[in-house]
Amino acid sequence: MFSASSILTFIVVLGVIVVFHEFGHYLVARLCGVTVKTFSVGFGPKLLKKQIGPTEYCLSAFPLGGYVRMMGDDPNEEISEEDRAHSFLTQPVRKKIAIVVAGPAFNILLAIFIYSGIFMVGFPSLTAVVGEIQEGSAAEVGGLETGDRIIAIEDKEIALWDEIRETVQKGDGASLAFVVDRAGVQKTVTITPQMKESEDLFGEKHPTWLIGILPKGDQITKRYNPFQAVYLGVKQTWNMSVMNMVGIGKLIQGKISSDNLGGPIMIAQIVDQQASRGMLNIVSFIALLSINLGLINLFPIPVLDGGHLVFFTIEGILGRPLSLKKVEIAQQVGLFLIVSLMVFAMYNDIMRFFVSP
């Protein structure tokens, strides 16, 4: 079972992601002149609330989400003539789209901010010291030895293990000159990578250029200046976004088992695991979860931000909003899909947590 500290960490992790998402909607709504009536972290009964100006700020009982309630976001709400200028649905389409997109956009910005901070603070990375050399590999044939520190490949300076992999792949099978430090003496060896199949994170095999070496496990803390860190933060966010989308696509195609879907219990388990490994891991997981939330919210499913984006895009094309009846039907279908997915994810959670050995 989860400890009190694990539950608290889980709530904080979700709270940070939700607050950033809803703050995106809130901030852009305010900038567009729309009155925000409620800003709530969590759903259900309001445990704490404070009225500041026209907005009621709340902490609600169930921390698995949140919401921003804007004036006039309900088509059935009666709005006085003087309040129409500050009502959500009476705004130009461009403003409504900006308000809707702001939530997911802030989730992506949170990930960039976190990753940039990690690159500035520094994180443990494997050094370019050769550990095991596989028998018959390109590295063995080329003369690489255990304990060699790779300091350059084809005039490109090497410090980290990941840089070796990246440089070898970019070489596209060409023979590469490896400059190594061997017991204080620099030597150059020529290695021709071999094409072999390797598995990716999703278990699929791809042809990859390999030289047949593994690290020893030595680590260093690499730090970057703010400009480098932001660039790398954006790059890491992009890579994680692509990985998420590929994973979701394979799930839809049936190439990944739906058993991998998880809900709050699975998230709590991962949070607990990451927390036990240190603050850096838990912060990295917040970034990954934030990307996931941002991307999923952009799916064109009614009741999600992506569904509203579709409605407002159609409104912009037609020059008028869709009929209330069509919107309501679409939202009912969307709600059914989301609830069904949540129930299935919770079922998987229960089976993993209570049934698995």
* Tokens standing for residue 53: 């100006």
Closest by CA to 209, choosing from 249, 131, 153, 145, is 153
> What's the whole-number average pLDDT of the chain?
86
Active site residue 140: no
Residue 152 backbone dihedrals phi, psi, to 5 degrees: -160, 150
Which of 91-95, 132-136, 319-323 shows the lowest mean pLDDT across its residues? 319-323
Task: Point out the catalytic residue in the list 22, 81, 154, 199.
Answer: 22
In sign, the C-alpha dihedral spanning 346, 347, 352, 354 is: positive
pLDDT in the model for residue 341: 77
Give the tens place of pLDDT for each residue, 294-303.
Answer: 998 998 888 8
* pLDDT, tens digit, 9 for 90 and up, residues 114-172: 999 999 998 788 899 999 999 999 999 999 999 999 999 998 999 899 999 999 998 88
Structure tokens at 315: 């409104």
pTM over 0.75: yes
Q: Which fold has domain 124-222?
A: Pdz3 Domain (2.30.42)
Segments making up each domain of the chain, as ranges: 91-122+224-357, 124-222
- The string of pLDDT tens digits covering residues 183-241 is 999 999 999 999 887 776 666 777 888 999 999 888 888 889 999 999 999 999 999 99
Tell me, what DSSP letter sits at residue 127? B
Angstrom distance (rounded) from CA 309 to CA 97: 6
Mean pLDDT, to the nearest integer, of 280-298?
90
Please check whether residue 53 is in contact with residue 119, taking contact to mean a CB–CB distance below 8 angstroms. no
